[in-house]
């Protein structure tokens, strides 16, 4: 993931954690993540991190 986005591992982990523990009724929504970080991360970055997480999860489930 660091090859695609210019974030360190801690920032990527923060976004992944926010995605995996959304506010009630906000599952799969990007806006709560965007707002949680006060717009620090653009929607495109958030999408990229989530796609990477989903890809890793699919790969892990196949092994």
pLDDT digits 0-9 by tens, 6-56? 899 999 999 999 999 988 888 889 999 999 999 999 999 999 999 999 998
- pLDDT of the residue at 63: 66
Between 36 and 62, whose confidence is greater?
Answer: 36
Cβ–Cβ < 8 Å for 39, 2: no
- pLDDT of the residue at 45: 96
Query: Is residue 3 over pLDDT 70?
Result: no
- Please tell me the distance from the alpha carbon of residue 45 to that of residue 39, in angstroms, as a whole number: 11
* Residue 1 CB-half CA count within 13 A: 21
Per-residue pLDDT band for 2 (boundaries 50, 70, 90) equals: low
């Amino acid at each position: 993931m660091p090859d695609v986005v210019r974030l360190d591992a801690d920032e990527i982990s923060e976004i992944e954690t926010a995605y995996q523990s959304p506010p009630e009724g906000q599952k799969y929504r990007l806006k709560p993540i965007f707002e949680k970080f006060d717009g620090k991360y653009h929607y495109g970055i958030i999408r990229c991190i989530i796609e990477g997480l989903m890809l890793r999860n699919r790969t892990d489930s196949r092994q």
